[in-house]
Amino acid sequence: MNVEEFKRNLQNIFGEQIRFSVDFDVYAEEIKNIDDDFMGWCIQLKEKKIDPIPAKRKYKDHLVFVKRMGSSNRCIVIKIKNGEFKEVHLGDHDYYNQVMKELGLKKSSKTY
């Protein structure tokens, strides 16, 4: 699946309002296992079958979902508590750490 098709599939699941991280396209091209399993995970998020991680600090109205993709890449989906999915982030472990710290969910690379 190419990057544009991947984005369209995610918009079909989460809605047209979804935004993608700046480097989304770069990481989407690198990830080899974007398959039905991943898309199934996204559908389960939409159907509220997967428990979120509630964000902390100034983002208390956010719910966060994390999926490991390959050995070092992560997908982070952020949902505002009013039910609307807002953002999809793809990135390496450093980017994942940065986003999780911003959300108040990680203090260092040794803690979750």
108: tokens are: 């260092």
Backbone torsions φ then ψ of 108, nearest 5 degrees: -150, 180
Is 62 domain-assigned?
Answer: yes
What pTM was computed for the model? 0.81
Residue 33: band (very low, low, confident or very high) from pLDDT cuts 50, 70, 90 = low
Domain extent, residue 60, equals 3-102
- List the alpha helices (DSSP H) in the chain: 3-14, 24-30, 36-46, 93-102
Q: What is the pLDDT of residues 38-69, one digit of tens each?
A: 889 999 999 999 999 888 877 888 888 988 87
CATH number of residue 86's parent domain: 3.30.2310
Is 57 domain-assigned?
Answer: yes
CA torsion sign for 68, 4, 100, 53 is negative
Domain count within the chain: 1
